[in-house]
């Protein structure tokens, strides 16, 4: 009787301890609506692969070619494809962040933060551009969308890393997510600053812009994810 109660107590204690392991909490996202949303997003990418590929191709040109950038900006089909691809990829990117352990929030809270990041910058630039009648401010919005789109695209291999190396969560997928974000965001920040100078933005505004609209949102999101 003594041994039976001891074993039962040990099992209860082990179960409660296992439930507090981060990897165990991350695995909980594998069940329920988030998985269905992620699968539907993958199916949408397959079904709309032409638009997604057009959005990827245009985004690569925007981030790498200063000569062809303006031509892509004026392409209405690219704008439509980029918007469609962003709407599809945002829920999938949120799932990747949670599944890889990069975000300790719930899936819906992570999705809300991703949506806020994607909307906060364009809305602020649109308002400022209209108030000061700066022609070309919308190009910065397209540039931000291209960088965000490529960041979400490059994050997709993180799901393979989770599947192949489950014991490496969250270190290995986290490193991949950080590298993919840096590859897209750093060139974007440099190009956006140059565009603002050419559009007549003051140096004070550019400094405040980099602090308030670029660095601050990323820092806040990282702080929320990692806390």
Tell whether 42 and 144 lie within a shared domain. Answer: yes
Number of domains making up the chain: 2
21 with 102, same domain: the answer is no
Question: Which of 115, 121, 45, 143 minimizes the C-alpha distance to 85?
Answer: 45
Is pLDDT above 60 for 5? no
Can you give the residue range of the structural domain that contains 61? 32-226
2 lies in the same domain as 87 = no
Distance between CA atoms of 81 and 76, rounded to whole angstroms? 9
Please name the helix (run of DSSP H) or strand (run of DSSP E) that holds residue 134, with its range, or none. Answer: none
Determine the Cα–Cα distance for residues 35 and 50; give it in Å rounded to an integer.
24
Do residue 71 and residue 106 come from a single domain? yes
> pLDDT tens digits for 145-203?
999 999 999 999 998 888 888 887 778 888 898 899 889 888 888 888 788 777 776 67
Same domain flag for 5 and 109? no
Confirm if 81 and 54 have CB atoms less than 8 A apart: yes
pLDDT at 133 over 80: no
Does residue 9 sit in the same domain as residue 109? no
CA distance 159 to 72: 30
Residue 104: what pLDDT? 81
């Amino acid at each position: 009787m003594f041994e039976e109660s001891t074993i039962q107590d040990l099992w209860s204690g082990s179960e409660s301890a296992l439930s507090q392991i981060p990897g165990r909490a991350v695995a909980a996202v594998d069940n329920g609506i988030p998985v269905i949303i992620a699968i539907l997003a993958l199916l949408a990418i397959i079904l709309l692969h032409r638009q997604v590929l057009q959005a990827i191709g245009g985004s690569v040109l925007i981030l790498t070619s200063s000569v062809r950038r303006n031509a892509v900006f004026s392409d209405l089909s690219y704008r439509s494809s980029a918007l469609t691809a962003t709407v599809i990829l945002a829920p999938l990117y949120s799932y990747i962040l949670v599944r890889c352990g990069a975000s300790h929030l719930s899936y819906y809270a992570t999705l809300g933060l991703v949506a806020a990041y994607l909307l906060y910058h364009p809305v602020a630039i649109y308002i400022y551009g209209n108030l000061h009648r700066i022609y070309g401010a919308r190009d910065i919005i397209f540039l931000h969308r291209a960088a965000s789109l490529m960041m979400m695209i490059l994050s997709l291999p993180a799901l393979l890393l989770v599947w192949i190396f489950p014991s490496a969560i969250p270190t290995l997928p986290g490193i991949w997510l950080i590298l993919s974000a840096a590859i897209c965001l750093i060139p974007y920040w440099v190009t956006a600053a140059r565009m603002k100078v050419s559009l007549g933005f003051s140096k004070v505004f550019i400094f405040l812009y980099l602090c308030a609209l670029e660095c601050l949102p990323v820092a806040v999101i990282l702080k929320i994810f990692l806390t």
